[in-house]
């Protein structure tokens, strides 16, 4: 399984949305801790979950795509 197999299940969309939430919350000073806890919880969950390493890598890629997208959306919303 390679990286091109990402975004094939509903849970993959959940990883993207969770990353977006963490990225957006990072832009608000009162929510930085919540964003940090989301990221740490996701990383711990991925380390503990029994699945093949390629699938875990895809999950991380999906989360990071969402995080970057959410952070960018937060930057754009502050500049408007």
Q: How confident is the model at residue 79 (pLDDT cuts 50, 70, 90)?
A: low
**d(C-alpha 29, C-alpha 60), whole Å:** 25
- 70 neighbors 31 (Cβ within 8 angstroms): no
- 11 neighbors 57 (Cβ within 8 angstroms): no
Q: Is the pLDDT of residue 2 over 60?
A: no
**d(C-alpha 17, C-alpha 66), whole Å:** 6
**d(C-alpha 53, C-alpha 21), whole Å:** 25
Higher pLDDT, 5 or 10: 10
């Amino acid at each position: 399984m390679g990286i091109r197999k990402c975004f094939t299940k509903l849970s993959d969309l959940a990883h993207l949305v969770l990353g977006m939430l963490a990225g957006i919350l990072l832009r608000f000073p009162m929510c930085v801790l919540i964003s940090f806890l989301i990221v740490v919880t996701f990383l711990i969950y991925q380390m503990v979950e029994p699945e093949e390493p390629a699938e875990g890598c895809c999950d991380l890629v999906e989360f990071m795509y969402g995080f970057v997208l959410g952070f960018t959306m937060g930057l754009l919303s502050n500049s408007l």
